[in-house]
Amino acid sequence: MSSDLRPFSYVVLALVGDGGAGAHDILDMIRRGGRVYWSTSPSQVYAEPKRLAALGYLTSTREPGRTHDRTVYRLTPRGRDALKEWLRSPSSFPRIQHEASVRLLAGDLIEDSEIVGSLDGLRAEIAEISALVDEMEAARSAFPHRERYLRLEHSLAHRLLQAHLDWIDEVERELGVPDRPEARSGM
C-alpha cells in the first residue's frame, strides 16, 4: 500500500467510488450513517480530497451546484488501483476511541450515579444516529451498484448501536441505577 495514503484516505476513495462525490457529499455521508464507523472533523473531510487530487488519486472538476459551483472528485486509475489493493488486503479490528468506556474505566473516582449520568446523552445520540442510518437505508436503492453492500453496512450500524444500548442497560443495572423503562429503546 502507498505510504502517502492514510486510513482516512481510503475512506474518501471509497466514498468517492465510481460515482464521484464532492467534499460536501462526503461530509454528508459521514454525518448520516458513517459516523458509526468513522469520526473526523469537517475540515479534514474538505482537506483530504484536495490532498488526494494533488497526489493523483482523484481528479476534480467544477460542476454546477444548487447555489454555486462545486468541486466534484472522481477516482483516477491510480486511485482506483490503490483502493483495490487496499480492499484486497486483510482487515484489522477497528480502531475505536470510546469515550464512554474510558469514563467507566475511571468510574471509581466519582459516584456511580455520576458515571451513569455522564452516559445519559448516549441514548439520544444513538436514536439520532439510528434515524440517520434508517434514512440511508431507505435511499440505498439510488445506488444499485452498491445496494447489497450498503444493506450489509446498515445492518452492522444497527447492530453496533443496539450493542451500545444493551451496554448502557448493563452499566445501569450493575451500578444500581433504578430501572427506567421509558429510557429503553430497542431498534
Give me the residues paired with residue 63 across strands: 70
Instruction: Give tens-digit pLDDT for 16-32.
Output: 998 899 888 888 888 87
Q: What percent of the chain has pLDDT over 90?
A: 47
Mean pLDDT score, 87-98: 88
Q: Distances from the Cα of 148 to the Cαs of 31, 132, 152, 172, in angstroms? A: 21, 18, 6, 37
For residue 136, what pLDDT is reported? 86
- Cα–Cα distance measured from residue 130 to residue 134, given in angstroms and rounded to the nearest whole number: 6
Counting beta carbons within 10 angstroms of the beta carbon of residue 108, is it exposed (0 to 12), middle (13 to 18) or buried (19 or more)?
exposed
For residue 1, what pLDDT is reported? 62
What architecture is the 7-88 domain classified under in CATH? Orthogonal Bundle (1.10)
Under the banding of pLDDT at 50, 70 and 90, the label for residue 179 is low
CA atoms within 13 A on the CB side of 96: 9
For residue 34, what pLDDT is reported? 66
Under the banding of pLDDT at 50, 70 and 90, the label for residue 146 is confident
C-alpha closest to that of 172 among 118, 130, 128:
118
| Mean pLDDT for all residues in the chain | 87
Of 106-115, 132-141, 150-159, 177-186, where does mean pLDDT reach its minimum?
A: 177-186
What does pTM read for this prediction? Answer: 0.76
The single-letter code of the amino acid at 28 is D
Under the banding of pLDDT at 50, 70 and 90, the label for residue 116 is very high
C-alpha closest to that of 37 among 146, 141, 152, 116:
152
Mean pLDDT score, 168-186: 71
For residue 169, what pLDDT is reported? 93
Burial 31-67, CB ≥16 within 10 A → b, else e: ebbbbbeeeeeeeebeebbebbbebebbebeeeeeee
Q: Which three cell numbers stand for residue 78?
A: 491510480
For residue 183, what pLDDT is reported? 46
Mean pLDDT score, 112-120: 90
Residue linked to cell 434515524: 131
Q: Is the pLDDT of residue 56 over 70?
A: yes
For residue 68, what pLDDT is reported? 84
